Structure 1
Amino acid sequence: MNAKLNHGTAAVAIQMRNAQGGQPANLDELSVQLRTQISELDALIKKKQDALKDVPDNLAEEINNRAKQIEGIASDIEQIKNDLVNQAKNLRQEDQEDIAAILIRNKDAVDQASIMYSRSKSVSDSVTFEGIKTRNIITLAGISNKVGNAADAKDITGRTAAYRPLNIIDLINWIPADSETAYYLRETTANFLAGIIPEAEDKPESELQLGMLQLSVGTIAHFVRVSKQALKNMSQLAVYIETRLAYGVRLKLEYYVVNGHTPAQGQQKIFSGLLEPLNYTTVDVHHSDTAIDVLNKAKYKAAATYIQPDCIILNPEDWGRIERIKGTDGHYVFGAPGAAVQPVIWGVPVIFSATMPVGKYWCGPLSMAYEGYLDSDVTIVVSTEDGNNVTKNLVTILAEMDGSGAVVLPDACVAGQLPAIGNAPNAPVVTTNTDAKLEGTATEGSVVTVTVDGVAVGVQLVGQSGQFSFAPNPVDEADQALVTATLAGLTSSGTVVVGPAP
């Protein structure tokens, strides 16, 4: 009988393979197996010690020393496991997900995390939305037009190419958030009086007033529940869901940047938006100004702060109406249906965003006028330990992000309401042209103007009847006049009339 033990016993335990002869089991399984083998070994040693009471003392002492060495090896392995867990907490998010697949004790969560990770490597970390709750559960039964073999389902990830670019938040310089509070240095007044000063004269003092704005860093988040069968059987579903959730978080982030955040009672303010009061200036709008005129005024008012505007933000519906404006000859003024060009108006790029309310606009240097804090990009979390997921065989997928933002150069921002946008009204129809009166029909609510040599000689608002009448006729004999109708800042083509003989 060979009573000697060596380190090979521990090595066999560490390198143990599973019952099918595959790759080594994970660290948790090895730990359980090792503890079981140590217990069996302790029992065997005790049995042998009892049987070897009569052997020489030096042999008994050697056996006891070997037993202590085995206990030390087991303790070292447990410490290595704990060290790996602690190191994983300090790794990048991507590395944490890799090592979590080895160390998480919940095998179901490991399986689902592996599915998400292996099928979504093209998706980066993500952000979260506040207040969005999804009650729908995604299952195979709930997916319409599925085929018999779900693995043959169409690749739905191709839809991601059609997602609208979120250029608003992409233009902002985001600062890493390192605390629960964000501080913004906000410029309130700037009056620069620098100039050439004669010798021995006092230099002028400029005025620059700054204020400190304090906001909290909040969490934007939302989640969906998915059945395990759907994730396993549809190869592209995992990446599709993760991409959509991340997109949803960033979309809500853009909404807060534009419209701001109104906290509930007792809650802290997180975002100060572009359209919130005191965050922008306005322009004077004349009743004859079109939306195009207003945007031109906004551009130059923003530029008057010596900081050139880098974008104009419009709702897609408003930009669509502008694109459909036609000239008097019927051609499109701002492009052609087949043209694929960056939207630009008055030389400033246009960003159209559904987060901008219909009928409003914003113009300014977005990259300089707005600052924000983010702790990271969107983070995706997968868990089976949420509510009764275990009994329902579901997986919860959560997307979240922490952030804050505020306007820091309000004087460089111009925003407001756009005049109604649309095609110009039809040209007035003249029905009577005598010395006594000039009558006709025009679009209800429009303003009919009679112009001679560039000078308005008659102006009248068209009522519900759709008729206009000037008495006496403002056009002198043999004079040529142009009769136009203006509605919502858009002027029709002109109707030519010649002053009648008395």
Structure 2
Amino acid sequence: MSDKDTATLLKEVSAELVRVSDDFTKKAEAAMTEVKNAGKLADETKATVDEMATKQTELVGVVEALKVQLGEVEQRSVRRPGGGSDRTKSVGAQLIADEAKLKGFSASLQGGQRLNIAISDIQNALLSSGVAEGVVEPQRLPGIDVMPKQRLFIRDLIAPGRTGSPAIFWVQQTGFVNNAAVVPEGTKKPESTISFATKITPVATIAHLFKASKQILDDFAQLQSTVDAEMRYGLKYAEEQEILFGDGTGVHLEGIVPQAQAFDPAFTVEFQTPIDDLRLAMLQSQLARLPADGFVMHFIDWAKIELTKNQVGDYVLANPLRLAGPTLWGLPIVPTEVPEFQGEFLTGPFKTGAQLFDREDANVVISTENNDDFEKNMITVRCEERAALAVKRPEGFITGPFSS
């Protein structure tokens, strides 16, 4: 069908639509009058109104399809002067292209006929052909899905400090014999003794490296910030393990747990539970004149304590309907996920009994001059820190296994 025939047919169908709409309006008004007078609508009148409504809907669809066809023709004439056929046709274009079917439908508008289009024709109209790979890009989700991380709180318990030296030299009081007493006038006064010892705590370096392509970090800024954050987290994770479990050999920090006192309660209670263990450990610290200010334990052990119930099934500590920070006996709980620490606990005077001295804060440095990085256009990302841990009062820290 030519463009001229399409325009003519559009004009004819539009005129027919106007006529049908007018007839439908008049019939609808008559139906309303009939309902008002008779109280109901006759079946014959209802069938006529439904038929006219169906015709009007069909005509609207044909008019819209014709408009789409004319719009496509105009666009093709602008893009490709001189004509040419499309490789694929829209549903509206296929409708107009079937000239015999469309003319038959137009001629029989009064007969209530419908125009049918095969599903295969519609599918072909919706499929693109000859599209090069990569033209339709996949949807990219924002951000980077990073791995879950353990919360790190041990440093928050310990007193902070700074140093500008490669080692910490400090003096520790190791003993005090108190012989103070009431004495008569003119007699020799009793003598007390105070013992001191010197301590040297070296500054340790905690570090790790990461290799990456220079192009990927230059082209993907978020990846660079993610690498920065991940490396800093890895450094702090290693730092926490050293603070807790460093054995002091070689360049390791001398951690708190290896220096802590074994749990030796002053007394025991009947049906002793982990909750009792922690209170007795607090007492042991108090008897050492160094009151505890926190607990460290595994996530699993803390969950078991929270789920402790009494004989009637009520929770002893937890309230599932209320959010509260992890505390017990008035002290904060610092959970850890170190497998070796499951079933054990640590308590003590973290603020007064230990101090972490930062010599060099955690920092990230990028270099292209490591090994053959320059030749391969690679970079080396280094993250490191330097710190020293001084456990000044190890007798105040108590560690041991929970009661089963």
Q: TM-score, normalised by structure 1?
A: 0.48
Per-residue CA deviation, residues 7-52 of structure 1 (Å, 9 max, x unaligned), is xxxxxxxxxxxxxxxxxxxxxxxxxxxxxxxxxxxxxxxxxxxxxx
Matched, 1:256 2:237: no
CA separation in 2, counterparts of 1:301 and 1:177?
Answer: 32
Report how far residue 382 of structure 1 moved.
0.6
Matched, 1:233 2:216: no
1:148, 1:261 → 2: CA distance? 54
- 2:149 & 2:227 partners in 1: Cα distance? 14
Alpha-carbon distance, 1:301 to partner: 1.4
Q: Output the amino acid matched with 1:271.
A: L
In the alignment, is the contact (CA less than 8 A) between 2:212 and 2:380 conserved in 1? Answer: yes
Q: Which residue of 1 aligns with 2:350?
A: 366
**Offset, 1:373:** 2.4
User: 1:182 aligned to 168, 175, 178, which one?
Assistant: 168
How far residue 340 of structure 1 moved from its aligned partner, in angstroms, is: 2.4
Which residues in structure 2 correspond to 1:131-170 (within 5 Å)? 153-156=141-144, 163-170=149-156
Once residues 325 and 181 of structure 2 are traced to their aligned partners in structure 1, the CA distance between those partners, rounded to angstroms, is: 40
Residue 409 of structure 1 deviates from its aligned partner by 0.6
Question: Which residue identity lines up with residue 357 of structure 2 in the other structure?
Answer: Y
Quick check: 1:208 aligned with 2:227? no
Distance 1:308 1:196 in 2: 30
CA offset digits 1:135-157 (Å, max 9, x no partner)? xxxxxxxxxxxx9589x552238
Shift in alpha-carbon separation, 1:247–1:206, aligned structure 2, 3 A: farther
Distance 1:407 1:364, change over 3 A: same
Question: Which residue among 314, 319, 337 is the counterpart of 1:331?
Answer: 314
C-alpha spacing 1:315/1:186, structure 2 compared with 1 (3 Å): farther
The 1:199–1:354 alpha-carbon spacing in structure 2 relative to 1, beyond 3 Å, is farther
Counterpart of 1:410 (choices 390, 394, 404) is 394
> Using a 3 Å threshold, how does the CA distance of structure 1 residues 206 and 186 change in structure 2: closer, same or farther?
same
The 5 A counterparts of 1:167-316 are: 167-192=153-178, 204-263=190-249, 268-277=250-259, 279-284=260-265, 288-316=271-299
Q: Following TM superposition, where does structure 1 have runs of at least 4 consecutive aligned residues deviating by more than 6 angstroms?
A: 195-198
Q: Which residue of 2 aligns with 1:353?
A: 336
Q: CA deviation at 1:288?
A: 4.4
Per-residue CA distance 1:322-341 (angstroms, 9 max, x = gap): 11222222232221234321
- The Cα of 1:180 is off from its aligned counterpart by 2.4
Partner SS for 2:308: coil
Relative to structure 1, the CA distance from residue 334 to residue 197 in structure 2 (aligned partners, 3 Å threshold; closer, same or farther) is farther
Separation in 2, partners of 1:323, 1:316: 11
TM-score, length of structure 2 as denominator length: 0.58
CA distance change for structure 1 residues 172 and 199 in 2, over 3 Å: closer, same or farther?
farther
In the TM superposition, residue 219 of structure 1 has moved relative to its aligned partner by 1.0
Separation in structure 2 between the aligned mates of residue 383 and residue 397 of structure 1, nearest angstrom: 7
Change (3 A) 1:209 1:303: same
Number of equivalenced pairs: 266
Distance 2:177 2:334 in 1: 31
Q: What displacement does 1:233 show? A: 3.3
Residue 262 of structure 1: CA displacement?
A: 4.6
Q: CA contact under 8 A between 1:217 and 1:270: conserved in structure 2?
A: no
Q: Compute the displacement of 1:166 (Å).
A: 2.5
- Mapped contact 2:359–2:388 kept (Cα < 8 A): no
Give secondary structure in 2 for the equivalent of 1:246: helix
Q: Could you say which residue in structure 2 is the equivalent of 1:393? A: 377
Going from structure 1 to structure 2, the CA distance change for 1:296 and 1:309 (only over 3 Å counts) comes to same
Instruction: Report SS of the residue matched to 1:351.
Output: strand
Gapped regions of structure 2 (runs ≥ 5): 1-135
Which amino acid is the alignment partner of residue 390 of structure 1?
F
- CA distance in 1 between counterparts of 2:209 and 2:251 reads 23
Matched position secondary structure for 1:320: helix
- Partner in structure 1 of residue 302 of structure 2: 319
The structure with the larger Rg is: 2
Distance 2:285 2:193 in 1: 19
Secondary structure at 1:378 match in 2: strand
CA contact (8 A) 2:253 2:388 kept: yes
Equivalent AA in structure 1 for residue 143 of structure 2: D
How far does residue 214 in structure 1 lie from its aligned partner after superposition?
Answer: 2.2
In structure 2, how many angstroms separate the alpha carbons of the residues matched to 1:371 and 1:318? 26
Looking at secondary structure, tell me which structure has more helix per residue.
Answer: 2
How far 1:193 moved relative to its partner?
5.4
Q: What secondary structure, in the 3-state scheme, does the structure 1 residue paired with 2:360 have?
A: coil
RMSD: 3.0
1:14 aligned partner: none
Q: Percent identity at matched positions?
A: 25
CA spacing shift, 1:354–1:200, aligned 2, 3 Å: farther
- In structure 2, the residue corresponding to 1:258 is in which secondary structure? helix
- Describe the SS at the equivalent of 2:165: coil
SS of 1:377 mapped into structure 2:
strand
Taking a change above 3 Å as real, the CA distance of residues 228 and 273 of structure 1, as seen in their structure-2 partners, is same
For 2:232 and 2:401, locate their aligned partners in 1 and report how far apart those are by CA, in whole Å: 32
Could you tell me which runs of 5 or more consecutive residues in structure 1 were left unpaired when the two chains were aligned.
1-146, 421-502
- Letter paired with 2:224: A
Q: Is the 8 A contact 1:184 1:214 kept in 2?
A: yes
Q: 1:327 to 1:179 in 2, by over 3 A?
A: same
Alpha-carbon displacement from aligned partner over 1:374-426 (angstroms, at most 9, x marks no partner): 21210110112222223433221111011221311122221112123xxxxxx
How far does the alpha carbon of each residue in 1:248-293 deviate from its partner, in whole angstroms, 9 at most, with x for none?
Answer: 1112111111112353xxxx4542111114x425313759422111
Tell me how far apart the structure 2 counterparts of residues 163 and 365 of structure 1 sit (CA, whole Å): 27
